[in-house]
Amino acid sequence: MTMKALFQNAKNAVGSTSAKVAAGAAVSVGMIGNAQADASAAFSEIQSTGADMAGQAWPVVAAITASLIGIKLFKKFANRAS
C-alpha cells in the first residue's frame, strides 16, 4: 500500500465518521424535541385532571363544612335546653 492510499483511506474514515456524528446529533435533537412535546402534553393532561378533581371536591368540602357547623349548633342548643 502506498502512502497516497493510506491518506485516502484515512480521509474516507474521517469523512464517514463526521457524517455519522452529524447524523447522530440530528437524531438526538429530534428525539429531545419529541420528548419535550410528550412531557408538555403529559403535564397539560395532569393539570386538566387536577382541575377536574378540584371541581368535584368543592361540593364535598361544602357539605362537610355545613355538617360540622350544624353539629356544633345542635350541641350548643342541646346544652342550653337541658
pLDDT at 82 over 70: no
Q: 3-state SS of 32-74?
A: HHHHHHHHHHHHHHHHHHHHHHHHHHHHHHHHHHHHHHHHHHH
Q: What is the pLDDT of residue 20?
A: 64
Q: What is the pTM of this model?
A: 0.44
Q: What is the pLDDT of residue 3?
A: 74
Over the stretch 42-73, which tens digit does the pLDDT of each residue have?
Answer: 888 889 998 999 999 999 999 999 999 999 99
